[in-house]
Chain A
Amino acid sequence: MRLSEKHWTLLILIVLVALTPFFFPSSYYFRVGSLIFINGIAVTGIVILTGYAGQISLGHAGFAGIGAYTCALAPVHLGIHPALAVVLGAAISGALAWLVGRPILRLKGYYLAVASLGLGILVSMLLTNEAWLTRGPDGIDVPDPGLRDLFRAMGLGFSATEAWYVFNGFMLIVGAWLALNLYDSPTGRALRALHGSEIAARTVGVDVAGAKLTALVISAVYASVSGSLLALQNKFITPDVSGYMHSIEIVTMAVLGGAGSVLGAIFGAGILTMLPQVLTVFAEYEQILLGLVMMLVMIFMREGLLPSVLRLVRGRGE
């Protein structure tokens, strides 16, 4: 039986999420794994925006910030359950993306980059400066959504880190599944068509502005959920989650791994999340190595790490 690429991707993800814990020597590894899943969710959003539709964003951390701070603030001020706050944050992020999307997405290339950059910086600045609400740059506590109790009620005695590993892994697989479904849907086809040529797409009847807007809103929701999960897992969040460097990180993970495919981008998230953990011994050289990796991969493996490696393997097999 031949599996489609979609099913392969899901199968690989499920196997990785389910089986790697058997090789984890300590709970620290669960934490790193869980962080990879969180970044993987944000990066899957970038696959839809950049990989499918070819649009650039240097401001997606802004949406992650909205998701994270909604989880910190809504349960306290509005009295809603933290799980509901994740949905609320996603709704706010989606609404903001929808609102600013039309004018921003008229811009192309670097102009789009600077506009999205500005948007991200504005969100980050609000979170840093409105200290009466957000407690400012020092960060804020995030309420516990009771994930462990939920698992315990189902008869599963996980530790907190294990519980988050399982839950975030589940969320990543759902996110990847949705993104993969989108690929072959009419919207996904429209996005890929306008990536190739906007004018050609318009001539065959694609609503270019509408399709781009859809991609931005969906990717904003992914980023927001990723920010929410980070805040809930850490029970604490600082405005750094919305900062410029985090935006760059998200895009770099996706593009390094291979923004054209969900699996590639998640692979990139895995590599870049683990890199600093592996390099703690050489903390001094971390920046130099990170910069080198970014340049070398982009120069010699333009489609990203995973697609290039796969091509190498397949080329040998034939």
Chain B
Amino acid sequence: MPELMQFLLSGVTVGAVYALVALGFTIIYNASDVVNFAQGEFVMLGGMITVFAHMAGLPLPLSALIAVGATAAFGVALNKLAIEPARGAPVVSLIIITIGASIFIRGATQLVFDKQIHRFPAISGDDPIHVLGATILPQSLWIIAGAVAIFIGLWLFFTRTLIGRAVLATSNNRLAAQLVGINTNWIMTLSFAVSAAIGAIAGVLVTPVTMIGYDFGISLALKGFAAAMLGGMGNPKGAFAGGILLGLIEALTAGYISSQYKDAAAFIIILAVLFAMPQGLFGKKSTDRV
């Protein structure tokens, strides 16, 4: 059994990271119907800026704070400069714009910083904790706790606060939201800032475990996107469940079948789920207006 326990623990840790990325996708999608393929770059920026602020001599917590703030600012810039001017463009164009943004951010990062792989010390040290014969790094617990805290925060935000409901209203019908007095442009800006900040937090949390480099964002964005679609796009509950599920599938496949095919298993399950439930696990069936 310790073997299974170990796979489950590492699956949940990886899954928590995917869940954080997927939650970032969800917020932007809810506000603007855009899937932001540069979401992985937010994670990368969070890690890289922290690394370089720390190397410049700032204490780690302050570096992390700066990284999250700066990344949120990049998120707002992305919205103002690239997404807002392209309002109403078809899905393919929006995909290319955000992929273009991600390539741009990657290129700029390797110029401003470097192409090396970095890490900084974990929050509570590197001594593994023993659980039922398996081990887990203290940092993994921080990652899981971070994902859970942000999920609960977002859930309360979307269901209990006026601003959160305004975001949902904007996503449902932009014009109607404007008619009842919601400043939809401000909602978009806020969503990009929050989403980028969550990405950056994920980056700060994972760097001590997985390390960080300028091109680490691509695969995280793909997995986060897949997780969000698995759960049903636009639903924070779905994003969280999809992320954890994806992490578990990967860890179990890597452990019991083949580590080379762990990504394959994830995508096979996603294809199977989408075939059976075209709206994802938690997505609502929608009807089109003719």
* Contact partners of B271 in chain A: CB under 8 A: 100, 104, 115, 118-119
A259-311: which have CB < 8 Å to B?
259, 284-295, 298-300, 302
Which of B121-129, B145-153, B204-212, B259-267 contacts its partner?
A: B259-267
Taking a contact as CB atoms under 8 Å apart, the answer to whether B263 and A251 are in contact is no
Known: A107-B274, A110-B229, A114-B274. A56 touches B95 (CB 8 A): yes
B97 → chain A, closest Cβ, in Å? 5
* Contact partners of B61 in chain A: CB under 8 A: none
0 or 1 for each of A111-140: is its CB under 8 Å from B? (1 = yes): 101110111011001101100000000000
* Contact partners of B101 in chain A: CB under 8 A: 291, 295
Taking a contact as CB atoms under 8 Å apart, the answer to whether A107 and B95 are in contact is no
Q: Which residues of A contact B (CB under 8 A)?
A: 50, 54, 56, 58, 100, 103-104, 106-111, 113-115, 117-119, 121-122, 125-126, 128-129, 197, 199-200, 244, 248, 251-252, 255-256, 259, 284-295, 298-300, 302
- Other than A111-B280, A114-B274, A251-B96, give 16 A-B pairs with Cβ distance below 8 A: A56-B92, A113-B95, A121-B222, A121-B263, A122-B264, A125-B260, A256-B96, A284-B111, A288-B108, A290-B104, A291-B102, A291-B104, A293-B100, A298-B89, A298-B94, A298-B97
B106 within 8 Å of A (CB atoms):
yes
Identify which of A107, A118, A302 contacts B226 (C-beta below 8 A): A118
Taking a contact as CB atoms under 8 Å apart, the answer to whether B278 and A111 are in contact is yes
A57–B5 Cα distance when bound, in Å, is 38
Taking a contact as CB atoms under 8 Å apart, the answer to whether A129 and B111 are in contact is no
A279 → chain B, closest Cβ, in Å? 11
Identify which of A110, A125, A126 contacts B233 (C-beta below 8 A): A110
* Contact partners of A244 in chain B: CB under 8 A: 218, 222
B110 within 8 Å of A (CB atoms):
yes
* Contact partners of B218 in chain A: CB under 8 A: 244
Taking a contact as CB atoms under 8 Å apart, the answer to whether B110 and A295 are in contact is no
* Contact partners of B97 in chain A: CB under 8 A: 294-295, 298-299
Taking a contact as CB atoms under 8 Å apart, the answer to whether A110 and B91 are in contact is yes
* Contact partners of B21 in chain A: CB under 8 A: none
Contact-residue bracket for chain B: 35 or more
Known: A122-B267, A287-B110. A292 touches B100 (CB 8 A): yes
* Contact partners of B263 in chain A: CB under 8 A: 121, 125
A200–B258 Cα distance when bound, in Å, is 47
Taking a contact as CB atoms under 8 Å apart, the answer to whether A56 and B91 are in contact is yes
Would you list 28 pairs from A and B whose C-beta atoms are within 8 A, ordered by A residue? A50-B92, A54-B90, A56-B91, A104-B271, A106-B278, A111-B274, A113-B35, A113-B91, A114-B229, A115-B274, A121-B264, A129-B260, A244-B222, A251-B92, A251-B96, A255-B96, A259-B92, A285-B111, A290-B104, A291-B101, A291-B105, A291-B107, A292-B104, A294-B97, A294-B100, A295-B100, A298-B97, A302-B89
B82 within 8 Å of A (CB atoms):
yes
B96-144: which have CB < 8 Å to A?
96-97, 99-108, 110-111
0 or 1 for each of B267-290: is its CB under 8 Å from A? (1 = yes): 110110011001110000000101
Taking a contact as CB atoms under 8 Å apart, the answer to whether B275 and A103 are in contact is yes
* Contact partners of B163 in chain A: CB under 8 A: none
Taking a contact as CB atoms under 8 Å apart, the answer to whether A199 and B229 are in contact is no
A86–B85 Cα distance when bound, in Å, is 44
What residue in chain A is nearest B104 (Cβ atoms)?
A291
Taking a contact as CB atoms under 8 Å apart, the answer to whether B226 and A287 are in contact is no
* Contact partners of A292 in chain B: CB under 8 A: 100, 104
A103 → chain B, closest Cβ, in Å? 4
B93 → chain A, closest Cβ, in Å? 5
Taking a contact as CB atoms under 8 Å apart, the answer to whether A118 and B270 are in contact is yes
Taking a contact as CB atoms under 8 Å apart, the answer to whether B100 and A298 are in contact is yes
B55 within 8 Å of A (CB atoms):
no
B86 within 8 Å of A (CB atoms):
yes
* Contact partners of B94 in chain A: CB under 8 A: 298
Ranked 4 nearest A-B pairs via Cβ: A291-B104, A294-B100, A287-B107, A118-B267
B153 → chain A, closest Cβ, in Å? 25
A291–B98 Cα distance when bound, in Å, is 9
Known: A287-B110, A291-B101, A294-B99. A107 touches B278 (CB 8 A): yes
A107–B103 Cα distance when bound, in Å, is 27
A103–B275 Cα distance when bound, in Å, is 6
What residue in chain A is nearest B279 (Cβ atoms)?
A111
B36 → chain A, closest Cβ, in Å? 11
B30 → chain A, closest Cβ, in Å? 13
